[in-house]
Amino acid sequence: MEELKPSAPGRRIPVLTLLLIGGALAVAAVPGCAPWLVYDRPAILSGQVWRMFTGHWVHFSLRHLVYDMAPLGVAGWIIERRGLPGFGWLCALAPWAISAALLVFEPQMKICGGLSGLATAALVYLALCGLSDPPPWRWVCGAALLALAGKTAFELAAGRTVLDTLAGLPVVVSATSHVAGAASGLAVYAAAKWRPGATPGRAFHFMLD
């Protein structure tokens, strides 16, 4: 078992986070490309599998875009500035895992978009890494995990997001995408922490971290 330690805290430009946010802004700026990128179940099943990845960068309103970018931007910035390992794998694999979960567990959902699933993955990963840090950050991370668990439980029970309830967000929630995102964050954290023979603070160093 290895402790996840930052490899170069405070010395990194959050390149991946900027690319994630920039991609969403680019798609929003060129709305004509969205029909070719959005998660479209019939199109995916007909062979357009790239939509399983690109669909996460399609948003259906400015408010939807802002609500998804804000938590992902904050979580990603902290992860990269702290030099936590494995974030590249999280960004590369979580979108596919989330879309696969939608294909299996949400057969009625024909169209889907948004970065909320990936944002959930990043938040869960960051919070799990922070549980081994000294207080008060450890307490913040523990509270964040409890809040995410409560939010997901509400979504599963109510069939809508907390933001939809509070601010009238014009989208239908997919709690499945958030559960799959949380599972992806947990999986990457576990893989980095328990990788056999890993050097503390250098696990997944060969990955896009």
Question: pLDDT of 69-85, one tens digit each?
Answer: 999 999 999 999 999 98
Inter-residue contact 129 to 204 (CB < 8 Å) = no
Average pLDDT over the chain, rounded to an integer = 85
Extents of the domains making up the chain: 15-193
1: nearest Cα among 194, 189, 197, 201? 194
Find the distance separating the first CA and the last CA of the chain, reported in whole Å. Answer: 20
Token digits for 209?
């971290």
CB of 124 closer than 8 Å to CB of 149: no
pLDDT beyond 80 at 99: yes
* DSSP state, residue 39: E
Average pLDDT over residues 96-103: 97
Mean pLDDT, to the nearest integer, of 36-53?
97
- Determine the CATH number of domain 15-193: 1.20.1540.10
Residue 113, pLDDT > 80, answer yes
What gap in Å lies between CA 209 and CA 17, rounded to an integer? 11
pLDDT score for 171: 55
Measured from the Cβ of residue 175, the count of other Cβ atoms closer than 10 Å reads 20
Task: Give the pLDDT mean for 94-116.
Answer: 95
Nearest to 203 by CA among 193, 93, 91, 184: 193
